[in-house]
Amino acid sequence: MKNIVAGVLNVSYRDVGPSDGPVVIVLHGFPYDIHAYDEVSARLVQAGCRCIVPYLRGYGPTRFVDAATPRSGEQAALGADLLALMDALNIPHAILAGYDWGGRAACVVAALWPERVTGLVSCDPGYNIQDIATANTPASPETERRLWYQYYLHGERGRAGLAANRSEFCRLLWKLWSPTWGFSESTFTDTAHSFENPDFVEVVAHSYRHRYGLVPGDPAYAFIQEKLAQTPPISVPAVILAGADDGVSSKREGVAAVRGFAGQVRRQVIEGVGHNVPQEAPAEFTDAILSLLDDH
SS3 292: helix
List, for residues 98-114, the tens digit of each pLDDT value.
999 999 999 999 999 99
H or E segment to which residue 269 belongs: strand 265-270
For residues 217 and 18, give the distance between their C-alpha atoms in angstroms, rounded to a whole number: 38
List, for residues 192-219, the tens digit of each pLDDT value.
999 999 999 999 999 999 999 999 999 9
Confidence of residue 295 (pLDDT cuts 50, 70, 90): low
How, if at all, do strands 9-16 and 63-64 pair?
A: antiparallel
Report field, pTM of the whole predicted structure over 0.95: yes
| Residue 170, CA distances (Å) to 33, 137, 188, 189, 249 in order | 12, 27, 9, 11, 16
For residues 177 and 163, give the distance between their C-alpha atoms in angstroms, rounded to a whole number: 21
Asked if residue 253 lies in contact with residue 245, where contact means CB atoms within 8 angstroms, the answer is: no
Q: What is the pLDDT of residue 211?
A: 97
Among 18, 80, 77, 4, which residue's Cα sits nearest to residue 49?
18
Among 27, 26, 18, 19, which residue's Cα sits nearest to residue 47?
18
List, for residues 245-258, the tens digit of each pLDDT value.
999 987 777 788 89
Instruction: Please count the other Cβ atoms lying within 10 Å of the Cβ belonging to residue 91.
Output: 14
Three-state SS for 226-253 is HHHCCCCCECCCEEEEEECCCCCCCCCC
For residues 269 and 246, give the distance between their C-alpha atoms in angstroms, rounded to a whole number: 10
Average pLDDT, the chain: 97
Q: What is the pLDDT of residue 256?
A: 83
SS3 180: coil
Among 59, 69, 50, which residue's Cα sits nearest to residue 7?
69
Q: What is the pLDDT of residue 296?
A: 56
Work out the average pLDDT over 43-58: 98
Q: How far is CA 214 from the centre of its chain?
A: 21
CATH superfamily for domain 2-295: Alpha/Beta hydrolase fold, catalytic domain (3.40.50.1820)
For residues 85 and 229, give the distance between their C-alpha atoms in angstroms, rounded to a whole number: 23
For residues 67 and 76, give the distance between their C-alpha atoms in angstroms, rounded to a whole number: 20
Work out the end-to-end distance of the chain between its first and last CA atoms, rounded to an integer number of angstroms: 30
Q: What is the pLDDT of residue 51?
A: 98
